Amino acid sequence: MFWISVFLLSFVALWECVIFASMSSFFQTLIDTTKYSEGKFPSGFPVGYVYKILVQIPEDKRVLVAFVFAAGSMLVSNLINMGATIYHSRFSTLFTCQNQSVIFNSMCRNSLKYFEDKKRGELMQMVITETTSCYSVLTGVLVLTLFLFKTIVYIVFLVMVSFKLSLIVAVFGMLFIAETYIVSRMIKWIATVEVEMNRKLSVVTHESLDGVKHIKLLNLYRQAESSFRNCCRKAKFSTRRIFLLAQWQVTLSHLLALIAIFVIAYVSIRYSVLAVALLMTYLYILQKFHQSIRGINNRYTFISKNLPAIGRIFDFLHDVDTYKEISGSIIQDEFLKEEITSKNVSLNYGNENVLENIVTGFCKGQTVALVGESGAGKTSLANLLVRLYDSSRGEILIDGINIKDYDLAFLRERIGIVNQESIIFNRTIRENILMGNQNASEEDMIEAAKNAYAHKFIMETSHGYDTLVGDNGLKLSGGQKQRINIAQIFLKSPDLMILDEATSALDTKSEQYIQVALEKLAKNRTCIIIAHRLSTVRKADTIIVLDKGRIAEQGRWSYLLEKKGLFYSMIQRQSFINE
């Protein structure tokens, strides 16, 4: 489709040049036709050939024929140009959409660390704005090439009509090129600043909207407005500077063109370089030449303004190679048949050791609890299991197979996670639950909601399962969102469950509902519980106590209490009494 667009635009440029050559020749011969008697034709291409055609037409009809030819040629040219523009517009829309889809899909397939290192406002700017700028540069180069083609044709005609006057045009052309180069360099530098300011503006906007609740509660209106206003002012200041430079460049180019016309007309008349009719033809060609040069100037300025976005796209492509998730290929009919083991697993965030030499294991069907102070590495260890991160050293094995060798989509399909913070999308309740299994039937979906103790409150909403929940489930309570997440997991029916402090942020009534639902969900499944409240892990088969990224203790509840180590100290701090 791109090359079709190139062909159409090239054809339009070629057609315009042909029409221009014919029109300029008609123009000259009509004005100067009385100078020549029949059979004494002016020489030179294309004037001589056009004159031979004109003298065969009755003299009283030559103007009419020329007018019909000119009008018809312009009509055909405009129709072809309109068709090419429509097709090019369609191509541009598809290209931009595909480009945005590729960037978005690549972004989603990056590791979690990528999203921790980047700001969401920057990523939104990349997907929405800079992909469009990337296409603008591509089309700008294409159109610039076509203008260059037309310019070369006009230069050839100028030289053919008068080489001497064309030397004057060359001098002014050099001045124009120098002016364009200097201004475009300035615009490119300012555009780099503008891109950075727009990126910061996008980040501030996203952070403010995302944290609007905290802004209200902490009365941070002035700070938020001031931050937004400063970023907006700097971004718009850069935009205004680019606009002023572009306008100055246009004004100067018009001034140079006007001076060139006066100089050429003066030299031609003063030194009798060209006859009046031929001079008018030359000036007509010069006017078309100036239009083409102005088009080159506009395209070059436009490309300079959007070029910094290309650098951002290349930086992103480099990041894709750095952060890309690498999938294995193993897919099994039965997942987790025997055990999960970790061998000397370590995880680093930069220079910080989050986990170090983790050695543990448990069998299928067991319930394992991960406990420890905040920052001990509990969630990080669970994230390694679903490969949101990959270990820096060591390996995690499921049934003797390194988890990195499993197909990534298959691995995550077989593991279900219920987090402390529920993630709900701004869609209907039905669509949110079906994210657990897109192919589930209506009956299966309702059964999953009932198992999660969500069906009752869902039916009490305005439109039942078709109720829109708002941005991040704004219309639902924390407990309701949690139960919808649990319904997703029921529908997913995973082999391994990870419960990451799933009830710690809920009120007592909601916690009771969630606790019963989780017990039902964990039944006959291998389950990993990450807990802050130690009373919830009393029935666990194994309790792993983490301290500063290391395993301090592990064993059953009674064993750890008898040992009177770190776990015992944690129990005492939470005011539990060992009976």
**pLDDT for residue 150:** 79
**pLDDT for residue 39:** 43
Write out the H or E segment, with its range, that includes residue 345.
Answer: strand 339-349
Residue with tokens 């090439």: 145
**pLDDT for residue 397:** 92
**pLDDT for residue 231:** 78
Kindly tell me the burial class for residue 116, based on how many C-beta atoms sit within 10 Å of its own C-beta (0-12, 13-18, 19 or more): exposed
Strand partners, 551: 546
Task: Enumerate residues 6+ apart whose C-beta is below 8 A from 111.
Answer: 323, 324, 325, 388, 389, 390
**pLDDT for residue 402:** 92
Structural domain boundaries of the chain? 162-324, 339-573
Strand partners, 110: 324
- The encoded tokens of residue 499 equal 């419960």
- The encoded tokens of residue 404 equal 């990195």
Write out the H or E segment, with its range, that includes residue 450.
Answer: helix 442-451
pTM confidence score: 0.66
CA dihedral 133, 139, 141, 145 (to 10 degrees): -170
Whole-angstrom CA distances from 92 to 10, 86, 99, 122 are: 16, 10, 10, 24
Indicate the pairing of strand 542-547 with strand 339-349: unpaired
**pLDDT for residue 52:** 62
**pLDDT for residue 294:** 80
Express each pLDDT in 103-143 by its tens digit.
888 887 888 888 878 777 777 777 777 777 777 777 777 77
What class, spelled out in words, does domain 339-573 have in CATH? alpha beta
3-state helix, strand, coil split of the chain in percent (to 5) is: 65, 10, 20
CATH number listed for the domain at residues 162-324? 1.20.1560.10
Ranges of the chain with pLDDT below 70: 1-57, 59-63, 66, 69-70, 73, 77, 80-81, 83-85, 87-89, 92, 212-214, 216-218, 277, 502-511, 575-579
**pLDDT for residue 166:** 85
